[in-house]
């Protein structure tokens, strides 16, 4: 979709009216560095507090804000991370707050370096374009049954949004649920997903656990979704009157179904952090990740201290599947990754394999957090940051995943580049869906001999299964493959959930599934 004017705001549920798109051609910048387009919250920044220097950074931001006629206020988001709200001064006339402009002025005051301060990006699922691929309007057909020619769209990647070409559409599954053993040797691998939540579904009953609270008892993300009766509306879309299904409706349920099919004996934990309209603020996403990291840290510490099971409060996670991301405005800037990168590293140090979708924009431009994976050292075309090619034996690497078509070829929509380290099926995938029926209707229908006869209703998912496309679904596919490899590892070597053992086996399964090896 086209980029908006940088001064223009855009609306999204839960994000308010402070979202903006950075236009590289008109954005004010300090220094000679180039910037790229990204979406961000104009009303706040993110600041890391990993060292005492954050006080000086706050002073720099406050002085810059004063000159622009704005006030700032810091609010702790998670230990070591805060948001910095930007707002107009009372009784003064000033331009609307713009976090990007404030950041540039602060960098100028600091002599060009202002570490660990960043925009609060907006994460789609993932990237500038929607993921999974979606069309903005129903396809108009001249006849209810047959097309005389393939649908012509403005770009080949758009075909994946058309029902019948990989777009979200109902499908019938005539077989039963994938077989699941009543017990496994050791324990079941745990795959966690942060997405739109998981609806009730026969295939997922007893497999998915939702709404696990943070260590302090506070919720993580939104209250979880529930099953939908046909014709009911999502609370994410109360103001809409067109009856169309939300762009990300069923996204989390679909991902859970992919995991269920690929590793039938895995347990799934679901946290709902993405509204079905999407997108989300980076700050909200980071807060949830910090809460989850704390649960895993507690669980690993309890393992090492051999705390009795009935006294344990942590949550063990083996794989964390993330199907969202953003494009950074200055990905060649070594300063940008001091907020998100350490968090991804901390999961790796606890033996959690973080698996991320690469994005659906047919670009080599790095999408984050996927591009925090160790870049392929065999690719000599992107050597501006050699440290990105390195891995560390004491932490499991992040795994970035691109999508393949059913025939094994690379999906045309999938992002690519040396930062995409694993590829698997992500186009025209069949999986589970919530029980929802949108406002679109069959192109033909008639009552004959007491039977209702229709063409396929393109958005009636009361059958609870669908076909869909996106790297969103390739990532959990690889995550489930890693879980399946863990099952074999547990069977052969037993289960040891102390920190060192988790990292060692994490490396073993990542090397086995994704081919990534420790750097020597």
From residue 15, alpha-carbon distances to 43, 277, 282 in Å are: 11, 11, 11
Q: How many whole angstroms separate alpha carbon 398 and alpha carbon 361?
A: 21
Tokens linked to 440: 């679109």
Q: How many whole angstroms separate alpha carbon 141 and alpha carbon 138?
A: 9
User: Residue 39's closest CA among 22, 60, 18, 61?
Assistant: 22
Q: Are 465 and 432 in contact (CB under 8 A)?
A: yes
Establish whether 71 is a catalytic residue.
Answer: no
Helix and strand numbers, DSSP H then E, in the chain: 7, 19
Give the bridge partners for 454, in sequence order: 445
DSSP letter at 43 equals E
From residue 101, alpha-carbon distances to 26, 29, 118, 393 in Å are: 12, 8, 12, 40
Q: DSSP 3-state assignment of 160?
A: helix
Establish whether 508 is a catalytic residue.
Answer: no
Instruction: Specify the DSSP element, H or E, that contains 424.
Output: strand 422-425
Q: Kindly name the residue from 125, 270, 357, 472 that is annotated as catalytic.
A: 472
Q: DSSP 3-state assignment of 195?
A: strand
Establish whether 472 is a catalytic residue.
Answer: yes
Q: How many whole angstroms separate alpha carbon 277 and alpha carbon 78?
A: 26
Q: How many whole angstroms separate alpha carbon 455 and alpha carbon 433?
A: 20
Instruction: Specify the DSSP element, H or E, that contains 272.
Output: strand 267-272
Q: How many whole angstroms separate alpha carbon 487 and alpha carbon 318?
A: 11
Q: Kindly name the residue from 121, 122, 224, 251 that is annotated as catalytic.
A: 251
Residue entry with tokens 């950075």: 22
Secondary structure (H, E, C), 205-245: CCCEEECCCCCCCCCCCECCCCCCCCCCCCHHHCCCCCCCC
Q: Kindly name the residue from 195, 236, 318, 345 that is annotated as catalytic.
A: 195
Secondary structure (H, E, C), 53-110: CHHHHHHHHHHHHHHHCEEEEEEEEECCEEEEEEEECCCCCCCCCCHHHHHHHHHHHC
Q: What are the residue numbers of the active site?
A: 195, 251, 472
């Amino acid at each position: 979709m086209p980029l908006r004017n940088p001064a223009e705001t855009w609306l999204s549920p839960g994000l308010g009216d402070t979202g903006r798109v950075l236009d590289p051609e008109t954005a004010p910048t300090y220094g000679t560095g180039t910037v790229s387009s990204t979406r961000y919250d104009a009303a706040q920044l993110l600041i890391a507090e990993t060292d005492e220097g954050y006080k000086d950074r706050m002073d720099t931001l406050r002085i810059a804000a004063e000159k622009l006629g704005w006030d700032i206020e810091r609010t702790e988001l998670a230990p070591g991370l805060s948001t910095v709200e930007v707002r107009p001064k009372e009784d003064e006339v000033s331009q609307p707050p713009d976090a990007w402009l404030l950041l540039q002025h602060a960098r100028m005051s600091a002599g060009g370096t202002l570490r660990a301060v960043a925009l609060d990006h907006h994460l789609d699922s993932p990237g500038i374009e929607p993921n999974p691929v979606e069309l903005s309007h129903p396809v108009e057909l001249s006849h209810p049954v047959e097309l005389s020619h393939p649908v012509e769209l403005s770009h080949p990647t758009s075909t994946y949004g058309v029902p019948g070409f990989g777009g979200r559409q109902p499908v019938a599954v005539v077989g039963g649920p994938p077989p699941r053993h009543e017990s496994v040797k050791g324990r079941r691998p745990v795959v966690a997903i942060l997405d739109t939540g998981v609806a009730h579904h026969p295939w997922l009953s007893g497999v998915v656990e939702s709404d696990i609270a943070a260590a302090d008892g506070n919720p993580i993300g939104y209250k979880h979704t529930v099953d939908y009766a046909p014709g009911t509306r999502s609370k994410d879309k109360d103001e809409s009157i067109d009856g169309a299904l939300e762009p990300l409706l069923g996204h989390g349920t679909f991902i859970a179904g992919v995991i269920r099919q690929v590793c039938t004996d895995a347990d799934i934990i679901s946290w709902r952090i993405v509204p079905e309209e999407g997108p989300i603020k980076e700050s909200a996403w980071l807060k949830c990740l910090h809460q989850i990291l704390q649960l895993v840290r507690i669980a690993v510490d309890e393992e090492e201290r051999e705390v009795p099971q009935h006294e344990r409060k942590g949550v063990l996670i083996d794989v964390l599947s993330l199907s969202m991301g953003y494009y950074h405005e200055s990905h060649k800037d070594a300063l940008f990754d001091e907020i998100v990168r350490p968090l991804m590293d901390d999961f790796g140090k606890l033996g959690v394999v973080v698996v991320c979708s690469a994005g659906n924009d047919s670009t080599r431009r790095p999408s984050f957090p996927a591009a925090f994976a160790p870049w392929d050292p065999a690719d000599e075309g992107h050597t501006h940051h050699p440290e990105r090619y390195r891995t560390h034996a004491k932490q499991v690497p992040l795994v970035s995943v691109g999508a393949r078509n059913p025939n094994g070829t690379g999906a045309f929509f999938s992002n690519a580049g040396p930062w995409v380290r694993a590829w698997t099926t992500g186009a025209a995938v069949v999986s589970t869906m919530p029980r929802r029926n949108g406002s679109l209707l069959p192109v033909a229908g008639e009552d004959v001999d007491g039977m209702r006869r229709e063409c396929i209703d393109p958005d009636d998912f009361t059958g609870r299964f669908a076909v869909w496309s996106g790297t969103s679904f390739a990532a959990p596919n690889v995550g489930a493959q890693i879980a399946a490899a863990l099952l074999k590892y547990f069977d052969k070597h037993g289960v040891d959930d102390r920190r060192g053992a988790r990292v060692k086996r994490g490396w073993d399964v990542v090397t086995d599934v994704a081919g990534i090896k420790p750097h020597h």
